[in-house]
Amino acid sequence: MRTFYTLITTLFLVHSVQGQMLFTGGPLNTSGQCWSIWASGDSALMGYNEGLYRTINGGDTWEHLTNGIPADVDPRTIEYESDKLIVGTNDGARIYQSDDFGDSFTGGTGVITSIAIPTASTSGPGSIIIGGTLFQPYTFDFGTNDWISTGGSGFVTTHGVRHLGGDTIWINRGGVTSGTTSYSHDNGLSWTDIITEPETDIGGGIILSSVAQDFLKVGNRILVGTNLTGFPVLFTDDYGTTWQASNLPSTTWSDYGKRFIKVNDSHLLTVNLEGVWKSTDQGETWTLIQSISQIRTMAIFNGDNLLVGTDNGVCEFDNYGEGDLITKHGVPSTPSNLIVEPSGIILAGTKSGISQYNPGTASWSNFQDTTSTGLPLSVDFLSYVEDTIYAMNTSTYFKSGDGGTTFTLGSPLGGQIPTVVEILDGKKFIATQNAASFQAPKIFYSADGGTTYTEASFTNPISLGYGGSSGNIIEHLIETPEALIADMQAGYAISTDGGLNWTFTGGVWDVSFLAVDGTTIYHYRSTALPIPERLIEVSSDNGTTWSEVSQDGLPASGGSNYMGIWGIWNLNGKMATYNSFESTRGIYQLNGESAMWELVPNSAASIENTDGITHIYSFDEEVYANWQANGTWKLGEVLDNPDFHLSDRGSAYIYPNPAQNQVALHSEKEITTVSIFDASGKQLFQINDFKNSTIDVSKLKKGFYTIHYRGSDHSGTIKFLKI
pLDDT at 438 (0 to 100) = 61
Percent of the chain with pLDDT over 70: 84
Provide the CATH number for the domain formed by 653-722 in this structure. Answer: 2.60.40.1220
Note the pTM of the prediction, 2 decimals: 0.70
Q: Is 83 helix (H, G, I), strand (E, B) or coil?
A: coil
pLDDT at 640 (0 to 100) = 35
Longest CA pairwise span in the chain (Å): 96
pLDDT at 530 (0 to 100) = 55
Would the pLDDT of 547 be above 70? yes
Query: Which has more confidence, 467 or 292?
Result: 292
What is the CATH T-level fold of the domain 354-598, as seen in this structure? Methylamine Dehydrogenase; Chain H (2.130.10)
Looking at 202-211, 369-378, 390-399, 651-660, which range is the least confident one? 202-211
What is the mean predicted confidence (pLDDT) over 248-262?
A: 70
What is the mean predicted confidence (pLDDT) over 345-354?
A: 92
Evaluate whether 524 touches 512 at the Cβ level (below 8 Å): yes
Terminal-residue alpha carbon distance, the chain: 27
Reported confidence tier of residue 519, pLDDT bands at 50, 70, 90? confident
pLDDT at 464 (0 to 100) = 73
Do you find a cis peptide bond into 412, omega within 30 degrees of 0?
Answer: no
What is the mean predicted confidence (pLDDT) over 35-57?
A: 90
pLDDT at 518 (0 to 100) = 83
pLDDT at 492 (0 to 100) = 92
Reported confidence tier of residue 3, pLDDT bands at 50, 70, 90? very low
Nearest-angstrom CA–CA distance, 512 and 27 = 24
Evaluate whether 718 touches 659 at the Cβ level (below 8 Å): no
DSSP 521: E
Residues 632-658 pLDDT 10s = 999 865 433 333 333 333 456 777 777
Reported confidence tier of residue 242, pLDDT bands at 50, 70, 90? very high
Looking at 52-56, 313-317, 715-719, which range is the least confident one? 715-719
DSSP 544: S
Evaluate whether 88 touches 98 at the Cβ level (below 8 Å): no
pLDDT at 376 (0 to 100) = 87
Residues 109-123 pLDDT 10s = 445 544 567 888 999
Contacts of 379 by beta carbon, 8 Å cutoff, 6+ apart: 336, 349, 350, 351, 353, 354, 391, 392, 393
Looking at 171-180, 270-279, 419-428, which range is the least confident one? 171-180
Residues 5-19 pLDDT 10s = 222 222 222 223 345
Instruction: Return the domain boundaries, the chain.
Output: 354-598, 653-722
Question: How far, CA to CA in Å, does 143 sit from each of 130, 147, 238?
Answer: 17, 10, 36
Query: Which has more confidence, 214 or 108?
Result: 214
- Residue 561 exposed, middle or buried by CB count within 10 Å (0-12, 13-18, 19+): exposed
Nearest-angstrom CA–CA distance, 183 and 164 = 10
Residues 132-169 pLDDT 10s = 877 778 888 888 888 888 766 556 788 889 999 888 99
